[in-house]
Structure 1
């Protein structure tokens, strides 16, 4: 396993894809209306977000929270033509729905472990990859970008450690279809900084033409530590969810994604440009909290920025 890298390669700017509307909402007990989702999108747009993994064209029976996928894409596109909208698709049928809806990119997703893939999409890894080839042929010439996502990329709750070579084999198959961006998904928060090093370096060796993206969950409390390791490796592409929403309905114990506002705070404090307003993201986190009706995991939305000052006269003076 690779040692933790030093920080000379830290980028000056990173790209953040907001996944709260998809990965965030798919596992929440509250099912938002399309209008409420749009209110959340508009708060994120006001904070500078321009890249969304907005929804998933899966069976509405499997994920009822995302049953309005086509309507949501149309509504967001009507408000802002310049945003980049991607959506997960499990098969050619989902790809055709995404094409009709007018997304910019489809994300082809597969688990690195056989057991999780069977639970997630009721298919073997080989079957999923064969389906991707069908999707690629169907979308050829459409102008829609193909993106890849490898779930359980750092470990599986059913199988344990996932060999890095398995992740590399899947990435090679994806690259062979013309995919040039692959997100490594930390589906149940099993990533650690050494694993991040190992997997990013392996991808760069086996598919140097591919841009790696990192998608961490904060299940075990080290999501931002894993981001720090990704930054040390020079990774410029991250995925996060407003408020720390989300989890995986097909993975026991999975908790929310790293919170977008916490990620922006970290980047701001490191002098790394994300193009997003921290104050705006905190406001968007407040919208998410109101819509979900509960306190969300994001910490910066509760505590405020580091230099948010308070009136000393409002604090009791200690006596002793």
Structure 2
């Protein structure tokens, strides 16, 4: 059987993606990889770093069949004549990210590649380029036929000493805060708990999933909103009856303290900033974003395009490296 291939999209080539890829592959890596994006962006970073080329250009991803392990790049034809200035927010950068993602989805579907790591994109530029999605998670969920309600955004933290780190799943991803209460349903909570529990098993982890309350103090028995009593608590009870080790709703300001101390092996947060603010406080630049519920492994670094860091040599490659490593582990 041919070696499994990990696809890596360069994201917005005006951002940090090309630099991260160049720095990561400066050391020889085992495995087979297909990069998708503009070759010129990688060549720009190779020249800046004074590094030799590490990839082989292919004109058709079908050429991958039978090729040995190594790093290959496919440049979608519509990107070949565009410019991608480093550190600049451009619609062309959004177009490159969207076109590269579309190609990656096609290759996942036809079995040419077997997993995906995505470099950061600019959501506003993606949308201005004609791709009406809030971000990678929603884009991939719809294009891969799962639907936005079928997936769950999850971030894995890491501590350098190997001690317990936060792992956070989100019931909602990128809606306006005013829409969150409507989107937090029993069905959605149970689905995210199922996906999170399954993912912990794949990592070889076991333990309780702590579930955040939606309201301050988890609603104080209905005195501060009714959602925690009427929606979150019943969903947790139903999940426990189905065999999932979870507890809640727990006030978020308390739950994250105990989760960081190791009492909970993962946290289910109700909305984006509730979950990711504490995670990034502890693990900024070292966490990995995983889309749970897709038919293929998908990971990404936990940060954005970082236009202001382009060319400074100060960007950290750690999160990208961990995203690649996790994707390959999930492909095995």
Normalising to structure 2: TM-score of the pair? 0.30
Greater C-alpha Rg: 2
Normalising to structure 1: TM-score of the pair? 0.30
